[in-house]
Structure 1
Amino acid sequence: DAALWLGLALKKQQKFRPALEVLEPAYARFSDQPQAEQLLYQWADSLLRLAEYDSAREKFQLVVEKFPEGTLQEEALNAATVCAVNAGRLSEAESLLTQYDRDHPQGRLRLRQTILRGRVLLRQVVVAEREASRDRAQSLFRDAAEVFSSVAQSSEIDSTKQQARFFWGEALLKLSDYARVLEVTQPVADLVLRERVPGDFTEVLVQRGLAHLELARKLARDSDADQGAGTPPPELASHCQSARDSASSYLAGLPRGTLAPQAWYVSAVSSALAGQKTESLAALKSLARQFAKQPEREMALLEVGEIAYARGDHTLAESLYDELATASRDPRRRPQALADLGWSRSQQKKHADAVSAFRQLLNEYPEHALAPEAAFMIGQSLAALGKKLEAQKAFAEAFNRPGSSDQTFQAGWRSGKLLFELNDVPAADAAYGTLLERFPEHPRADAALDDWAARHYDQERFEQADKLYLRLIEQFPKSPLTWNARVILAESELIGERPEVARGKFEAIATDPQADQKAVERSMYQLQNIAHEGQDWQGLKRLAAESLRRFPEGTYRHEAELQRAEAAFMLGDLKGAQVDLERLLKLKNDSDIADKPWFGKVFVRLAELLVKEKEYEQALAVVDTMEQWNSESPLLYKGWEVAGRAYKNQARFSDARRLFLKAIDDPHGKKTETAARAQLLLADTLVLEKNYDGALDEYLKVDIGYEFP
């Protein structure tokens, strides 16, 4: 009796190893005494508490075999099953469950046995996950949850209810039903916190911490909290605080417990999500100091680094990823750490250091899924350093890697772009050609082809550009980029002086209900130009009005207003033209509009209109305003010619000739039709002054110096 009571006392103090040292020899000495069953059972239970499950199971089964009429038969069989489940020996567990059902069909512990059946289902998940059968795993979790739920709701024994709720929470956690986890395990957590002494269900605190953390993660994803360093939403902050509190409560009772690394992980990540940087870093230090080799340390470093990166704290992210890359040899986390280290350095414009991280990843894990990204980012980082030639070579190497990843496609594209920038056009053409041959079905293949064409277009290699735009239309007929290609090909017809062909193409775009609206507006803009060039004033009036109706806020709305004014002017609607011109003139201080090459026409046409209306002083004021607006305007000579006419019509011949001469001598106006008209009108002023000899000399200048009739 003394040995038994001493062993029980030591167990009550959680001193299981000393209890073994008392109980084992006591059983050997008193195996034929009435206390033998109890001594053997308590010996087995001490082994169970020390997680020596196989040895414990053997002893519990020995209790069943040696004491068939004993009082602990049912308890020993139940405990043996617990040991088998804890050790993951599922076939033994199934056998013991069957034995219990046979020997104790109405046993007091049958609901606890039911809980063990649920735990077997949870253990079977490991096999399903190993076989990558996610559906099977989820089905097992659901079945287990139903088992635990039935026990929790049917048992009248509080400890059995709590045990069922504990494992029910575990199953729900795996089913991602986090709110239900908190609801189901609340009574268990209340019991654990009330007792203040670590017990069988203390791990529920970590379980609840994980559930709170997952709910906080979801709120972070759904809010803007992970986009900046601002205060997190109240509900997110509440879940983070609850997660930390649960983890802290576990660590207070079991600082070196089985789930202590997980508790520190919960604390580190939840603090980071809540924006509590100091607390998060403290938790990470505790992990490094106490559990440096545990996977939870690496998991925490990775996730806290991700949170810091997402919130723009790239300096912190870099330090965490660097620590992880130094500490980890895990084939999943180490390459991810190296990639994220490179990205965090890149975000800080530490491009040379970024290259180092990406190269390390590429050298150590050349076949890893992140290798194409690393190869691409080496090129990006070198390009950011201004090392175009090295960057192009890096992109070419990245493109030459096997596989069909998006980064490989992007690398080939960037290689071609840089070759254009390096003025190696043949190599650039070859790079784009190879890219599209290798990735003809890539979602951005049409964009790459469009970019190839645009680079020739921008460098005025129009023939090559047109061929590529035509290829874009033929190869990707459903791409939205084909509409711009169609517009450019139509504009090429204009450049080739085939306005009627161009008109047909622009009209086809403008009237197609499927056409991109920017292409439609551009086509209508060009149709107006064709109408203007062909002096189709009625057509121009109609097109300008339609363009303004369809695109009242469009890119070319101001040009359309000018065209409408031009049509009105030529059709004799001077008042209508004046309204548009004066409205446009009010925009002269808006550089986004007034800096466009056509804006000077507004001054010239308005001044000309005022001359027609014999509002000469107003016309002169408009030309004077034009000169103040931009004394370097290439259209100013036209304004001077109109001002000269205003003076001539007032018989202010000297002033008229001064303005005509300015128009004639202006570099932009030399030998133009406007200069010829100014020369003719200058001669007319001399005739009006009866200076016929002088007039003859000036008329001869028109005849000799200009080819206009």
Structure 2
Amino acid sequence: MNKKLIPVFLLIALLANPLNARQHDDPSSHLFLEGVRLYEEGLFTEAERTLGLYLRSEHTPPQRENALFYMVQAQAGQNPEHAAFYYEQFLQEYSHSQNARALLTEIGNLKKRDGSFSEAAMYYERAVKLNPPYEEAARIHYHLGESYGEFHDYDNAAANYNTIADRYSRSKLAPEALFALGRLYLNNKKFDESANAFARLRQLYPLSPEAGRVGTALGESYFQQGMYAEAVEALRGVLASLDEEGEARAVFLLAESSNYLGNYDQATTWYRRYINLKDDTEDVRFAHYGMGWVYHRQEVYHWAAESFGRAAVGDDELARKALYYQAVNEKLAGRLENAYRSFESFGNRFSTGEWIEEAYFEWAVIAFEVGFYGEAIEILLSMIRNVPELNNPGDVYTLLGEAYFANNEYTSAIAAFDAAESAVEIDDDIKRQARFQRAWVMYQNNAFAQAQPGFEQLYSEDPSAILSGEALFWSADSYYSMEDYGTALAQFDRFVREYPNHEFAGAAHYSIGWSYFKLGQYDRAIAPLRRFLSEYEAPPIQLFPYDTDTRLRLGDAQFAMRNYSEALTYYNQAVGAEPGGDYAMYQIANSYYRMEQSYEAVSTFRRLIRIYPYSTLREQAEYNIGYIYFLTGNYDQAVEEFNQLISRSPNSAWAARAQYNIGDAYYNANRNEEAIEAYRKVLRNYPRSDLIIEAVNGIQFAQSAMGDDDTSNQILEEFLAGNPQSRTADRLRFRQADNQLQAGDYNGAIASFRQYLRVTNDEAMIPEALFNLADAYEQTNNMDEAIESYRNIVENHRRSERYEPALTSLGRIYNDQGMYDEAIASYQRLIDTSTLMRFEANIGLGEGHLAKRDYNSAQQFFERANELTPNSETAKIGLGKVAFHRNNYDEARRIFSELAEQSTMEPGAEAQYMIGRIYQSQRFYDDAIQAYANVRVLFNIYEKWVARSLLRSAECYRAIGNSSEAENILRNIQESYPGTDEAREASQMLRGR
């Protein structure tokens, strides 16, 4: 700010004019002169004090206006931010003086500098009305033109520039005003007016610098408006007449325009000329940056990277962008190592501001692609911390999830995919991708039960959307991996029907065959496997020989159906395959054995051992040779073969089994002492074998055959004493109990688990043992003891993985026994104390409240469960039952009908059953009978609901008077479903007929 508006010579003039001749009569004039001197010297505080003394003189000071004029400037000098306020104090008293004009102009300048252009124009307008001198008037009008232009009042701006040209044509500002007027018109696309202004400038002031800039101004204006061809024409026309600086500017604009027009050769020429003109200055960076784009657009990425690299000097915006594009072009050129270093340099130089997200993301992508997963994670986390609002959060968190997954950090991967899905502003397809990846991480981590609902939900929401086909396929495969082959089969079948041309269609047929195979439906496995084999095209490099595997499975299916000749056909097709040839030969031998061709079987096993000496089946083949001799009663040869296996492979799993069978061979040969010694060798030589318990049992049987006392338990305890590793002992005891449980010996399992709990020191296994003990109690219908075992887990092992399942089991038992308050308390405790199994807890709470006829609460919990797992079939069943019990049959029928049509699983069966219940409750018995019949037709594999449907059908037949049909149905239930609750109820109905 210019704080000395009135120079000293003006002060002298003021004091010398007649108006000021009275200073000799002014006793305080020395104060006025001293104050002005102090002001001129920049001593504003002293100037204000001295001028204030002058203004407060007893008589009216002759120089009052000038003194006040200087004093407000002194005040402004001390507090520049309040300058306008001080000046206004002067203007209140002297609004039309020469000093007022100076202050009004100065306030306008202040407002203009602050960006308050409207206010600036107001003050300039006041100043120009005070009749300023010629040149000053021109300058004020020029300020007015600039201010009006800044707040887009272009008419007034043009009017003030025209005023200068018309009224003040001799002013040195006249050429500038015409130039500004031309630029103003150009920027507003008023090309005729612009041409007139520039023509007038050239005519009136041909030698002015502004006249020489007309061509450049036109070219630059065209450039800014994207009219690049016009810019090139205008700039070429004036290039020869420009000074050095103007020439450089014009050359740069020519280069940029040619670049935009795609005239890359010309652009390169102009950029190089600009570099020569601006050599050894930082301005050349702009030309290098432009040349980078020239090369990039021509896909010469390595040259583009070099040019961008020359522009990436410093820390300004240009350097930031140039470094980013240098890295991008290095990546496009395949120079990943260079690109990684450039992005790393970007990250080290710039942590905030523009391009951060893009640069960090590309940096992380390269790190991920080259296998630097830890570095990719750190880069993405740094970006997330430094960028408050990500533009593409879905992409960022999805990549972060993939990096965590690749780095085996599965929990963090899931959290990242959750974050990607929750980003509201991202595209729905990206959200679906994130949700798919979340499920995929769990699938890859073998968490199939957790992955499957995510896959199925993606498919169910919109079968035609992106990734829906893949989601259905992997949902089916998740069921397969969970050994739920029936559900897997249904979903694979749906996949091939809805996506027959999908790239996974062949794999789906293959999986359908496998599913039938696993279900034991070998005859139905053959057709899809044959179809896969006929349609399968092996890739040039295949990681797994699916054609060989399919032939082997076809052989296995025929083998399982005892069609051994057909099995041999497929196995022989796979002999010599790698891998798989050894298994084919192994199964050929087994087929011969099943065909009672023992010689061919043994010969084939020996050929397998000779041809595939390193096969994983070698020891088993050796074992089978001995076992064939064992089964044919040739015990001596069997013992010899088993001993050869032990000698050749003493540390294999088959060696322990061979040693055990030596004991069995001796036992069958009535050589019991040798049998006992063979069994003891199992204990001595293979203490980690799974056959320890069987060997002890063998000792027991041999001693019994000899008439000796049973010392098998003592031998087992001696074994445990000789193998004092507590976990080994625990595992043996636990396995013994668990084997009994799996074998259905529930009473034996109860005794063994109780004994295990008494002696174990393994705290980690106690909850597992308690849970299995509770299961055994449930199987024997001892619900009180089951409840006690589950409660033991809940009360004493809260950190166990069995804590949540125990609570859900308690809730289920309580609900089944009609103890609904206790069930509700168990499920509520699960919600209050854990974040796991929330869905199951809400379902249980809904069922408990439903049973208590608290339909409002039941509906709330079922809806909450549906929110946790959207479109949950179990939750829909609950909501349908709420509507049913409220007698809202239309709503209940809508829910159950949709579910029965969409689901091929057990909820679909229950929904179809409930449709029958609705009709039966409304006394529409014919409709009810048809609905119940549909349960048998559509869901025949779910026997519980078939039996219940039959039972309710019998009730309907009785209701319409057809007692004979009702009796036939009830007897059918007794015969087809013996031992079930439905069979017992059928018996009661028959007795009460």
State the partner residue of 1:246: 311
Instruction: Report the alpha carbon displacement of residue 166 of structure 1 after superposing the two structures with TM.
Output: 3.0
Matched, 1:334 2:393: yes
Sort the Cα spacing of 1:110 and 1:558 in 2 relative to 1 into closer, same or farther, 3 A. same
- C-alpha separation in 1, matches of 2:160 and 2:511: 80
- C-alpha separation in 1, matches of 2:387 and 2:230: 39
Q: TM-score, normalised by structure 1?
A: 0.51
State the partner residue of 1:148: 232
The within-5 A match list for 1:258-407 is 262=321, 273=339, 275=341, 279-285=345-351, 288=352, 291=353, 295-325=354-384, 332-365=391-424, 368-402=428-462, 404-405=464-465, 407=467
Matched pairs, number: 485
Instruction: Report the alpha carbon displacement of residue 337 of structure 1 after superposing the two structures with TM.
Output: 1.9
State the partner residue of 1:441: 501
Instruction: Report the alpha carbon displacement of residue 436 of structure 1 after superposing the two structures with TM.
Output: 3.3
Question: Identical aligned pairs, as a percentage?
Answer: 14
- 1:116 maps to which of 200, 210, 221: 221
- C-alpha separation in 2, matches of 1:320 and 1:277: 10
Q: Deviations over 1:649-678 (max 9, x none)?
A: xxxxxxxxxxxxx9xx999xxxxxxxxxxx
- C-alpha separation in 1, matches of 2:362 and 2:373: 14
Instruction: Report the alpha carbon displacement of residue 339 of structure 1 after superposing the two structures with TM.
Output: 1.8
Sort the Cα spacing of 1:56 and 1:632 in 2 relative to 1 into closer, same or farther, 3 A. same
Instruction: Report the alpha carbon displacement of residue 373 of structure 1 after superposing the two structures with TM.
Output: 1.3
Q: 3-state SS of the aligned residue for 2:462?
A: coil
Preserved contact between residue 161 and residue 180 of structure 2 (Cα < 8 Å): no
State the partner residue of 1:33: 134
State the partner residue of 2:485: 425
- C-alpha separation in 1, matches of 2:431 and 2:574: 53
- C-alpha separation in 2, matches of 1:343 and 1:178: 40
Instruction: Report the alpha carbon displacement of residue 328 of structure 1 after superposing the two structures with TM.
Output: 5.0
Q: Which runs of 5+ in 1 are unaligned?
A: 4-15, 123-143, 220-234, 507-522, 530-546, 564-582, 601-624, 634-661, 668-709
Q: 3-state SS of the aligned residue for 1:442?
A: coil
- C-alpha separation in 1, matches of 2:487 and 2:608: 48
Letter in 1 for 2:248: Q
- C-alpha separation in 2, matches of 1:95 and 1:598: 99
Preserved contact between residue 165 and residue 185 of structure 1 (Cα < 8 Å): yes
State the partner residue of 1:132: none
Q: 3-state SS of the aligned residue for 2:313?
A: helix
Instruction: Report the alpha carbon displacement of residue 468 of structure 1 after superposing the two structures with TM.
Output: 2.4
Q: 3-state SS of the aligned residue for 1:121?
A: coil
Preserved contact between residue 325 and residue 338 of structure 1 (Cα < 8 Å): no
Matched, 1:92 2:189: yes
- C-alpha separation in 1, matches of 2:462 and 2:531: 27
- 1:591 maps to which of 599, 614, 629: 614
Preserved contact between residue 152 and residue 161 of structure 1 (Cα < 8 Å): no
Select between 493-502 and 343-352 the one with higher mean Cα deviation. Answer: 493-502
Q: 3-state SS of the aligned residue for 1:591?
A: coil
Instruction: Report the alpha carbon displacement of residue 352 of structure 1 after superposing the two structures with TM.
Output: 1.2
- C-alpha separation in 2, matches of 1:596 and 1:214: 65
- 2:274 maps to which of 182, 188, 212: 188
- C-alpha separation in 2, matches of 1:278 and 1:479: 42
Letter in 2 for 1:119: Q
Preserved contact between residue 382 and residue 390 of structure 1 (Cα < 8 Å): yes
Instruction: Report the alpha carbon displacement of residue 42 of structure 1 after superposing the two structures with TM.
Output: 8.2
Instruction: Report the alpha carbon displacement of residue 397 of structure 1 after superposing the two structures with TM.
Output: 2.4
Letter in 2 for 1:387: A
The within-5 A match list for 1:256-655 is 262=321, 273=339, 275=341, 279-285=345-351, 288=352, 291=353, 295-325=354-384, 332-365=391-424, 368-402=428-462, 404-405=464-465, 407-457=467-517, 461-469=521-529, 526=572, 591=614, 595=618
Q: Deviations over 1:218-273 (max 9, x none)?
A: 45xxxxxxxxxxxxxxx79xx46x64552334x4xxx5xx7576467568978982
- C-alpha separation in 1, matches of 2:359 and 2:267: 22
- C-alpha separation in 1, matches of 2:510 and 2:114: 79
Instruction: Report the alpha carbon displacement of residue 419 of structure 1 after superposing the two structures with TM.
Output: 0.8
Q: 3-state SS of the aligned residue for 2:381?
A: helix
Sort the Cα spacing of 1:433 and 1:329 in 2 relative to 1 into closer, same or farther, 3 A. farther
Instruction: Report the alpha carbon displacement of residue 379 of structure 1 after superposing the two structures with TM.
Output: 1.4
Instruction: Report the alpha carbon displacement of residue 67 of structure 1 after superposing the two structures with TM.
Output: 0.8
Preserved contact between residue 301 and residue 320 of structure 1 (Cα < 8 Å): yes
- C-alpha separation in 2, matches of 1:460 and 1:180: 76
- 1:63 maps to which of 161, 177, 198: 161
Instruction: Report the alpha carbon displacement of residue 27 of structure 1 after superposing the two structures with TM.
Output: 9.2
Q: Which has the larger radius of gyration?
A: 2
Instruction: Report the alpha carbon displacement of residue 296 of structure 1 after superposing the two structures with TM.
Output: 2.7
Q: 3-state SS of the aligned residue for 2:529?
A: helix
Preserved contact between residue 61 and residue 80 of structure 1 (Cα < 8 Å): no
Sort the Cα spacing of 1:272 and 1:327 in 2 relative to 1 into closer, same or farther, 3 A. farther
Preserved contact between residue 305 and residue 318 of structure 1 (Cα < 8 Å): yes
Instruction: Report the alpha carbon displacement of residue 483 of structure 1 after superposing the two structures with TM.
Output: 7.1
- C-alpha separation in 2, matches of 1:46 and 1:259: 30
Preserved contact between residue 115 and residue 147 of structure 1 (Cα < 8 Å): yes
Preserved contact between residue 517 and residue 525 of structure 2 (Cα < 8 Å): yes
Q: TM-score, normalised by structure 2?
A: 0.38
Q: Which runs of 5+ in 2 are unaligned?
A: 6-111, 204-210, 331-336, 540-544, 589-606, 624-643, 653-661, 668-993
Q: 3-state SS of the aligned residue for 1:337?
A: helix
Q: 3-state SS of the aligned residue for 2:453?
A: helix
Sort the Cα spacing of 1:112 and 1:352 in 2 relative to 1 into closer, same or farther, 3 A. same
Higher RCO (CA-CA < 8 Å; seq separation 6+):
1
Preserved contact between residue 392 and residue 415 of structure 1 (Cα < 8 Å): yes
Preserved contact between residue 206 and residue 246 of structure 1 (Cα < 8 Å): yes
Preserved contact between residue 342 and residue 358 of structure 1 (Cα < 8 Å): yes
Sort the Cα spacing of 1:63 and 1:215 in 2 relative to 1 into closer, same or farther, 3 A. same
Q: 3-state SS of the aligned residue for 1:349?
A: coil
- C-alpha separation in 1, matches of 2:131 and 2:618: 107
Instruction: Report the alpha carbon displacement of residue 356 of structure 1 after superposing the two structures with TM.
Output: 1.5
- C-alpha separation in 2, matches of 1:344 and 1:172: 43
Sort the Cα spacing of 1:464 and 1:527 in 2 relative to 1 into closer, same or farther, 3 A. closer
Select between 324-333 and 17-26 the one with higher mean Cα deviation. Answer: 17-26
Letter in 2 for 1:155: L
Letter in 1 for 2:374: T
Sort the Cα spacing of 1:148 and 1:421 in 2 relative to 1 into closer, same or farther, 3 A. same
State the partner residue of 1:604: none
- C-alpha separation in 1, matches of 2:164 and 2:529: 91
- C-alpha separation in 1, matches of 2:156 and 2:288: 31
- C-alpha separation in 2, matches of 1:332 and 1:350: 26
Instruction: Report the alpha carbon displacement of residue 370 of structure 1 after superposing the two structures with TM.
Output: 0.9
Preserved contact between residue 24 and residue 43 of structure 1 (Cα < 8 Å): yes
